[in-house]
Each structure stands twice: as structure tokens, then as C-alpha cells.
Structure 1
């Protein structure tokens, strides 16, 4: 079992002030794979103090110097890709191939995109031709606390750490205590890349401990959090007394609207997306809204995709899905599947219990419910497992109403070959993102939502601005 009790503070690995061990469980085997320590107030204070000391010098470095540091981080990250993939597979259960290509690859993707966005970033911009001496300056916030989840570890770590470093902030990262190993590899990458001491710090801990300590710390100017809506509300309340900037990327219950004229692969594509990463994605299309004339065929197709989706351990190659992250998560999903049955939804694939032939590990059967009404718990609550709810609709207006009838507003999906309809529906959906006909958002698009999904904007230029404050300046000498 790996000993990973140390924290990365002020450019070195240090022991916790007080031991508070926690085992990291491999969800494929239910066996411990590592032991970490949960930090307490003294550890958090040390990390924040290091970041505060480093901020004046780091914030004054030239953009070119900060860019060079991040380019070095990318180079080292690529060289450690296999180590990163191993950590992610063992801490949260992403299958071996998916962990290397997609989970680890997400970090490479975001670092590259931030590098590209930063090269053209204007820190001082004219307000407009009507006010030639009025400028808007973008400046670093200060010390930022970064709290990241377990489901897409490097996706979220790079969406927070990299823009913070580029714009001149210093950072304290608290990764999920369930899946901390990949972030510790990331800290090793930061160290090897030669980042000045104190600019990046890592303290492991849980939400009520280090998470709350960062949220309430008087020397932390901003909290960026990705996770559950419940935790986001708690962080907002905790941060209120110190008037921090708070950026939240929270849950989702995405609707995938399939019109009768959708392409032949739309339903299979949507079901596959729902089950991807074992359903543990906040932007998963977990509600499939299908026009009634093609509803029966869609239900059959989705059920076939579920039945054909292999479930196996994360440590073997292949295109299967792995376990969910923990016993607590497995039990929550089982309860929701049973709730769907009790509510009267029609179970057409999967169901409660372990997949056939499996006797250990937190594996969930890919599950499809048909004849779901949008007031059912399985249609309103984020299950965070491979569970798809299918709901019929009769008109465009009804589809939009059902799609928007949710506390969440992260990602919605539209499938139709009618371009005017696509555009019209997309503008009426209340969400931060809309993806249509299986076309991914372009590199540099902002990731974020509205309503109970939070209102963060991560990635690209908006993701850089997220970690800055703007300053309005008049009387600027444009010839100086």
C-alpha cells in the first residue's frame, strides 16, 4: 500500500502537523491502495501563508515567464501520463484505456487550450472608441483556494490550477479525499517543472475540514469549487463572512431532446454518453426526451446499448465501463434505481444489484427506465451513475418545457436535422451549454451552467478571466 501522507507546501513535501490517516480504496477490488493524511487548520494555514508570500513576486512576473512555466508543466505532464492514468484507475475506477486517453488526456487538452488562449490575452483593453482614454485592466485575484472532485480529477484540476497560474494567482489545491492520488502526481509534475516555491500548494482533506478552512480563511481571496450542489451551497455560506469571490461548477440533469428527424445514431450516441465514465459526469445526458412517433424504437435502442455495455475492472484494457467510485456512491445509485421501480417507471434494461458474475467491487448495471414522468425522483435528482430515464413528448414546446423543468442547468442536448429548429430550441433551453447532433463544443468554449448547476465559466478566455478581477481606469495615456 502506498504511503502518501505528505502535503506539498512551499515547494517541498512536508508531514502533516497531526496525523489523521485515511485509506484510499480501489473501487474495482474494495481494497486499500494507499493511505493519505487529512489536513487540519495548521496545515491549511501553512499552505495559505506560503501562497500569500509567493503572490507578490509571482503576480509581477511577465506573462511570457508564466507562460513558459506552464509550457514546462505540459511537457512534464505528458511524460508522466502513464503514472497519472494508473493513479486515476486505482483511485476512482476509470478503465485503463479510458483513464489514459480521456481522463489523463483531458488535462493535456485543457493545458494546451489555456496556452493558446493566453498567448492572445489582453490584460489592458480599451473600453471603446467612444472613450479613448478609458481602459479595462485584468489583474490576478490573489491567493485562490481550489476544491476539486473525484469523477474527472485532472479535467478539473487543470481547469483551475492552470488559469490561476497563468494570470498570476497563487494556489492551494484540495483534491477529493476519495481520489487524491492523481493530484499528488500533479504536484510532483509541478515540482519537476520548477515552479517557484509557494506558487502551488496541495493539502489533502475533506470538505468539512480543509474545504471549510479554505472557504473561511481571511487570506484566501477566491474559492473555485466543483462538486455537488449541496456542497456548493455550504461553501457559499462559509465564504460569505470574508466576502470572497466564489465560483461554483455544480451538478446537472441534462436533457437530450431527440426529435423524430434525428439522425439514425442519435439515440445510441446519447445512451452511450449517459453510461460513459460509469455515469459519473455532471454533464451526462441522463434524461432522454423522445418525440412520441419514434419513442418505442428509441426505447429498444437504448435498452440494447445498456445490455451491450460491458462492465469490468478498471485494471484491464478494453472499452468497458468500470465501477463507481465508492460504496456510498454505489448504495445511493441502488436506492435511486429502486426508487424508479417504486415510482412506476418501466425498467427495460439493468436494474438493482451487481452485474452478473461480479461478487466484489462497486459495479452498477447500466440501467434504462422508460415511461418516466418528469416529476419522478429519477428525473429530478442527479443520480451520478449509469442510469438513463426516457420521457416521451408530443411537441417542440412540450420538449422545451420538460427540459427546463429541473433545478439544474448545466448541459442540454438537441438532436434534429432541421437547422432552424436546432437554433430555436437551443436559445430557449436554460443551461450554460447546449450540444447538438453529437458535435462537441470547440476548444476554448467555456464550461459552466446556470441555476443549481452554478455559474462558473471554466476554459478558454472566460476561464482565464474567472481567476481575475477587472479594474476600470480613466485618463489612460495610450502613447506611453
Structure 2
């Protein structure tokens, strides 16, 4: 069992304001994994004060961009060296299957490298050529850090969410208070260890496990200049209202209910094999998953049958076992939430193809849900409109491409999506019509060089690459006479 009784505040390990430690239990069998300090409002105040001092008077914002980039490279190398330990820790505390947490480690490297390239290529200060040749002054545009960033991330993919915010914020010269979920206390303390070893100056970074009430204290803090949030749309609306009242910069990566359109000419076995990952990765606990499967009426039962076979082939069990594909939900209340949606789908009249509200036999001690597939789903049903955040898929029939696009866009969300076709050109034509932030064609992976974020209720702002870095910078114009 691991004991972490200190908090990482301003780059130093300090005693928390309250000495009570939180028990971290395995979602697989409820065994005790560790006990970790949790932050309260007073700890947040200390962290923001340290970040404010480091930004206003410390060296970090005034350090050359190349020096900041070197520290991020050092941190990335340190993380790569402990990739197996990180993956195993996330699997233990989150219930994420080992294949998923291991696969995610190289993705983190790609994510950081994309931000580093954006920082290397950015013109931090430039003279802009005048549009009017008669002007007698220079226009200088500078990119400067915003200030103190409050970054708040969810529990489902902690290292990825933390990396998406910390990397650009720090490269830009900001100081950061990262609020993480209590469920991720063990893995996020590893993250703190790595940044401490990388050599950030004092005050630049704090990492605080804390509850929702403490999160609101952080984002409402007058010492915070920008809020960067990943989580539910409901929480995002609350955060946006606080940011609006205080005129803070804000970026929100929120929920999704993404559609995968299987076109009439698609290779169905290939599409279903791809959706195994694109719709059910991380136990279904991921905002980008394509959990609405849109199938043409002429091949509807063929697609439903192939999806049934795929879903039933997935091994559910201990996330530490190498052949497990679906592990437990992170908490018992999340397990019950998903089961209640399965019961709702049955009550709404959807056809239960496989799965159901029963807990898998032999796994009753854990927070397990049986992977479930619904057919004959109308897009107006709640199971087709609301984010379930578990291993539950719905299959919706469509008449033609126009109908498929209409159904896909008939959602309050717009985070992700996918199109499957025998030709990339046809798939691209459909992808261009979808009102969503990211679309994959024939199961292609997501890009870390392009922007990631949502349309509609799926968020505000973008992460990854050049636009992700730009979200942590202010643009200043300076003019001077010739």
C-alpha cells in the first residue's frame, strides 16, 4: 500500500491543511491501494499565492522559450522512462484495462512533441508588414503568457488530460495550479514527482487532488487568470458562468455523444473491428467515443449482427490481466449510473441485442457493467442523446447519406465522429458535413498536430498543436515611430 501524506504546492512537498488521508480503493475488488492527502480551500489559497508570486516576480515567464522547451523535453523523457509504472498505476486506481493505459504512453509522447514543435515554430515577437505603405510606424506583435492558470481535469484519462493542459501552459510561460480528481491521487502524485525532477522553478506548478467544492474555490479565486477545464457539460456551464462574471480566459473540453456513420459501401468487418476501439476503449469512459452507430437500412441487420459478435467477444475482468478488454467502472455510483441507462433503454423500447443490466458473473465485488448493445434505437431516445460514459452502444438506422448526416448532427454535442466507406473521397465528403470538432475516416487515429475540441455543447476552445498553445497566450501589439 502506498502512503502519500504531502501535497505538491509550488514545486515543494508540504503538509496539507487537514491531515486526513483519502483511501484509494481498487474498482476491481475494493482492495486498499493507498492513502493520499487531499487539498482543501486553504491549500488552494497557498498554491494560487505561490503561482501568483512566481508569475509576477519569478523567472519563469521571463525565461527564454527555448529554456522552457528544454525543461518540458526533460520531463517527457522522465515520463517515458516510467511509462510502465504510470500505466499500471492508472489501471489499478481507474480500472482502465492495461492494454489501454500502456497504449496511451506513446500517445503522450506524440502529444508533447506536437506542442514542442508548435512552440519552436511560434514567432514569439514579430514585426508585421504594414497593409498601408504610407504609415510611418512599426507594428510589433508579441505573444505573452496569460498568468496563473487553474487547470481542472477529470478522472477517466488523467495523464492525457493533464498533459494537454500543462504542456502548452508551461511552454507559454504561465504558472499552473492543476486540480485533479481524488480517484487519480496515486497517478497524479507520480506526475508531481516527474515535474519536481525535471527542474521547474519554485511556485510554477502545484498538483492538488480535491473534491468538486474545492474545484469551485480554485476557479473562482481572484488570483487566477485563466481556467482550463475538461469534464461534463453540466460542470462546464457552471465554470463558464463564473469565468464570464469575472472575465477570466476560459477553455472547456466537455461531453460528447458522437456518431459513427457506416456507409452502404463500407467494409463491415473492418468497421466493426475499428469500432471495438473507437466506441468501447477505456471501458466506455471517454468523451470522444463513437457510441451512436448509424447503419444503412439495407445492411442494418448485418451490421447489428457483426457488432453483437464483437461486443460478446470482449473479455470483461481484472484490468491487470493482459487479455482483459473492459475493466470496471471507476466508482460504484458510476456503475449504477450506467446500469440505470441500460434499464432506461429497455424501457424506451430499444431492442436489447446483448448485455443488459446484470453484473457479470464472478465480478460482483467490483464496479462492473456488462457491455451492452441496443438496436432499433430512435435518435430521440435518451440513450441516443445523453452521454452514458460506459460500455453501451446504440445502433440507429438511416435511409441515405443526407439522413445519416441529419441524424449525426441531431445532437446537442459535437465533439467527435467517424465515417466508414470503401473510398476515402466519399467518406471525406460526408465528414465535411458533420458539425463536430474531430472526425476520423475509416478508423484513422486522432492527430495531435490538429486542433481538438468541440462544437455546440461539447466545449469552447481547442487543445493540441499550434491552436492549443495559442490558448495559453495573450497577444500584445506595440507600435513605434520610425
With the length of structure 2 as denominator, give the TM-score of the two structures. Answer: 0.95
Alignment correspondent of 2:109: 108
Quick one: distance in 2 between partners of 1:109 and 1:278?
A: 23
What is the deviation of 1:20? 4.2
Alignment correspondent of 1:24: 24
- Name which of structure 1's ranges 177-186 and 224-233 shifts more when overlaid on structure 2: 177-186
Alignment correspondent of 1:332: 337
Q: CA distance change for structure 1 residues 376 and 165 in 2, over 3 Å: closer, same or farther?
A: same
What is the deviation of 1:237? 2.2
Q: CA distance change for structure 1 residues 321 and 476 in 2, over 3 Å: closer, same or farther?
A: farther
Alignment correspondent of 2:219: 215
Alignment correspondent of 2:33: 33
- Name which of structure 1's ranges 413-422 and 6-15 shifts more when overlaid on structure 2: 413-422
Does the Cα contact within 8 Å between 1:268 and 1:301 map onto a contact in 2?
no
Alignment correspondent of 2:42: 42
- SS in structure 2 at match of 1:33: strand
Alignment correspondent of 1:432: 437
Quick one: distance in 1 between partners of 2:60 and 2:29?
A: 43
2:205 corresponds to 1:204: no
2:13 corresponds to 1:8: no
The count of residues paired between Structure 1 and Structure 2 equals 475
Does the Cα contact within 8 Å between 1:136 and 1:472 map onto a contact in 2?
yes
- Name which of structure 1's ranges 384-393 and 449-458 shifts more when overlaid on structure 2: 449-458
Alignment correspondent of 1:275: 280
- Name which of structure 1's ranges 198-207 and 140-149 shifts more when overlaid on structure 2: 198-207
Quick one: distance in 2 between partners of 1:242 and 1:214?
A: 13
What is the deviation of 1:116? 2.2
Quick one: distance in 2 between partners of 1:476 and 1:438?
A: 54
What is the deviation of 1:357? 3.0
What is the deviation of 1:66? 0.4
Does the Cα contact within 8 Å between 1:411 and 1:432 map onto a contact in 2?
yes
What is the deviation of 1:465? 0.5
> Residue 427 of structure 2 is aligned with which of 405, 415, 422?
422
Does the Cα contact within 8 Å between 1:216 and 1:241 map onto a contact in 2?
no
What is the deviation of 1:476? 7.8
CA offsets per residue over residues 246-295 of structure 1, 9 Å max, x none?
11000000010111111241133224421111101101000000111111
CA offsets per residue over residues 33-53 of structure 1, 9 Å max, x none?
122233222110110111111
Q: CA distance change for structure 1 residues 319 and 90 in 2, over 3 Å: closer, same or farther?
A: closer
Alignment correspondent of 2:131: 130
Alignment correspondent of 1:118: 119
What is the deviation of 1:87? 1.6
Quick one: distance in 2 between partners of 1:60 and 1:467?
A: 15
Quick one: distance in 2 between partners of 1:475 and 1:294?
A: 67
Alignment correspondent of 2:326: 321
What is the deviation of 1:448? 0.6
What is the deviation of 1:183? 1.2
Does the Cα contact within 8 Å between 1:414 and 1:436 map onto a contact in 2?
yes
2:43 corresponds to 1:54: no
The root-mean-square deviation of aligned C-alpha atoms, in Å, is: 1.7
What is the deviation of 1:196? 0.8
- Name which of structure 1's ranges 363-372 and 29-38 shifts more when overlaid on structure 2: 29-38
Q: 1:325-404 counterparts in 2 under 5 A?
A: 325-404=330-409
Alignment correspondent of 2:267: 263
- SS in structure 1 at match of 2:42: helix
Quick one: distance in 1 between partners of 2:454 and 2:267?
A: 27
Quick one: distance in 1 between partners of 2:129 and 2:358?
A: 61
2:246 corresponds to 1:242: yes
Does the Cα contact within 8 Å between 1:310 and 1:320 map onto a contact in 2?
yes
Quick one: distance in 2 between partners of 1:370 and 1:128?
A: 59
Quick one: distance in 2 between partners of 1:43 and 1:276?
A: 35
Q: CA distance change for structure 1 residues 296 and 465 in 2, over 3 Å: closer, same or farther?
A: same
> Residue 417 of structure 2 is aligned with which of 393, 409, 412?
412
What is the deviation of 1:136? 3.3
Does the Cα contact within 8 Å between 2:5 and 2:21 map onto a contact in 1?
yes
Does the Cα contact within 8 Å between 2:23 and 2:34 map onto a contact in 1?
yes
- SS in structure 1 at match of 2:142: strand
2:171 corresponds to 1:163: no
Quick one: distance in 2 between partners of 1:99 and 1:476?
A: 56
Quick one: distance in 2 between partners of 1:187 and 1:476?
A: 47
Q: CA distance change for structure 1 residues 42 and 349 in 2, over 3 Å: closer, same or farther?
A: same
With the length of structure 1 as denominator, give the TM-score of the two structures. Answer: 0.95
Q: CA distance change for structure 1 residues 278 and 45 in 2, over 3 Å: closer, same or farther?
A: same
- Name which of structure 1's ranges 158-167 and 79-88 shifts more when overlaid on structure 2: 79-88
CA offsets per residue over residues 48-99 of structure 1, 9 Å max, x none?
1111111142100001110111111011111222221222011101223432
- SS in structure 1 at match of 2:280: helix
Quick one: distance in 1 between partners of 2:177 and 2:369?
A: 34
Does the Cα contact within 8 Å between 2:316 and 2:324 map onto a contact in 1?
no
What is the deviation of 1:241? 3.0
CA offsets per residue over residues 376-427 of structure 1, 9 Å max, x none?
1100010000100000000111111111111111001111234443233222
> Residue 80 of structure 1 is aligned with which of 72, 79, 82?
82
What is the deviation of 1:201? 0.8
Quick one: distance in 2 between partners of 1:136 and 1:303?
A: 57
- SS in structure 1 at match of 2:155: coil
